[in-house]
Every structure is written in C-alpha cells, then in structure tokens.
Amino acid sequence: MRAHHIMSRRVLTIRPEASAADAVKLMLEHHISGLPVVDSAGSLVGMLCESDFLRRSEIGTEHERNRLLSMLLGAERVAGEFVKERGRKVEQVMSRRLVTANEQAPLDEVADMMERRHVNHIPVVRDDRIVGIITRSDFLSAVAGSLAGASGYSGGDNQLRRAVLAALAKIAWQPIGLNVRAKDGVVSLRGVIRGENAHRAVIVTCENVPGVRRVDDRLCLQSTCPDPEDDYGGGDFVSPQVEPSTLDDEPL
C-alpha cells in the first residue's frame, strides 16, 4: 500500500499569523491532534501539534534555566524556547522542521519516518501543496479494514496444508521435526521449537494463512522436552523413526 491509500484528504489547516488560541480552539472542536500550517500561497510552512503545547508559561511547564545552564545551552536555543513557550501566534509555536511524504510513498517508508523522527502526523504534499495527511490512527483504520475484509477460503484440507507449509518454509525459525495437519480449517502443529518468541512467531505465521480458523498448538519448547535417552528408553540416541506419513501428514 501507498500513502494515498490511507491518507485523510480532508485536511484542516491554519495560517501562520493566526493566534495560538484560535489554533487550540480549532483542534479541540474537531478532535484533531495536529494542524498543518500553510501560507497565503497555500504552501506548507509548518506543523502545529499537541506536543507543541507541552511546555507553556500559562500552565507553569516552561523550562527554567539557571544562568550557568543557559550559558552552556547557548543564548539562541534559550531564546527559541522562550518564544515557543510564550508565543501568541501560530508561527511562534509551530514546528518548522517538516517531515512530509508524497502520495506514492510506500507505507513502510511512512511508518519508518514516524518511528525515526518521533512524529504522529505526516503531511502528504504535491509540489509543496498539502493534499492529505497521515496520522497513526490512519494506520489503525487501515489494519482494521484489512482484518475485517479478509476473504473466505474455499480450498480443501490438502491445499490449506500446502499453503501453511509454504508459509513456514519462508521463516528462519522453523521447528525441528515439524509435522503439519489440516482439517476443516484447523491446523495442528507438532515438533520442537527453540525459543518462546520463535514459538509465537510460528503460530502467527499459520494464523495469517488464508483459510486457517484455528491453530492446534502441540509444539514443544526445546528446554521443556524430555531428553532423547529418557524418551526412548536410555542408551545412545541416534534418531527416532520418522512417523509414517500420509498425503495430509508429511514432514516439512
């Protein structure tokens, strides 16, 4: 998927010369946590978010710097904090370091930008004009739509089993001696797995195969499985006999 598939196209914006009070009122009235700031030509010049109001003199959360710390930070930084914490206009409070995406940006790149830059809103632009915005809630809506719109499955048990085996063949944490059975959408797994995270990952892999309704988990963690000598009556352990296979029950 790409940015234009999930972005909100109806975007509320505000001008930089608008008052900070008007911006706060607009955000509260429309239940939004961020406002793109555009100039008279319609170009994006900033972003105003809830986080820009965390440090404000009105509520006593402004930074308090002693003289020594102010000297170490530098007059320019301290002055910038002073303006942001007491500014009355949007242009004095907004963030100018913009993180944007274009309409064709892959969603994984958008998600990566959000994680790396610690932002909750990414304006989508075309020729410096805002055409949409993506928030973290847009990702949630996209996931919800995909889960709700999962298509039904009409294949047989053998076809489902082959699909599960194909999915498991692509992962790096395959169980030892894996055995898979499928019956009426229920997939049974047997084998030995080396770690709890790998165990969960195998289950999730199966659950994501179309047609799987439930996973009958009979996998055994390696640390909790009986020693081979105990399991096979003592003596030297070579290799247990492979369980007889049928068409719907073959080792991977």
* Tens-place pLDDT, residues 20-58: 999 999 999 999 999 999 999 999 999 999 999 999 989
> How many Å separate Cα 198 from the centre of its chain?
20
For residue range 59-85, list pLDDT tens digits in order: 999 878 777 777 777 788 778 888 899
The residue ranges of every structural domain in the chain are 3-147, 157-231
Name which CATH class applies to 3-147.
alpha beta
Same CATH topology for 3-147 and 157-231: the answer is no
Per-residue pLDDT, averaged over 141-151, amounts to 70
Pick the CATH number of 157-231 from 3.40.462.10, 3.40.190.290, 3.30.1340.30, 3.30.590.20: 3.30.1340.30
Q: Which residue has the tokens 């010369």?
A: 17
For residue range 184-201, list pLDDT tens digits in order: 889 999 999 888 899 999
Tell me what the pLDDT averaged over the chain comes to.
84
Strands 34-38 and 44-49: antiparallel
pLDDT at 242: 37
State phi, psi for 144 to the nearest 5 degrees. -60, -40
Per-residue pLDDT, averaged over 162-180, amounts to 88
Strands 186-193 and 214-221: parallel
pLDDT at 154: 67
Strand partners of residue 48: 35
Q: Which residues contact 211 (CB under 8 A, 6 or more apart)?
A: 153, 155, 160, 163, 185
Confidence band, pLDDT 50/70/90 cuts, at residue 152: low
Amino acid at the residue 57: S
217 token code pair:
């988990």
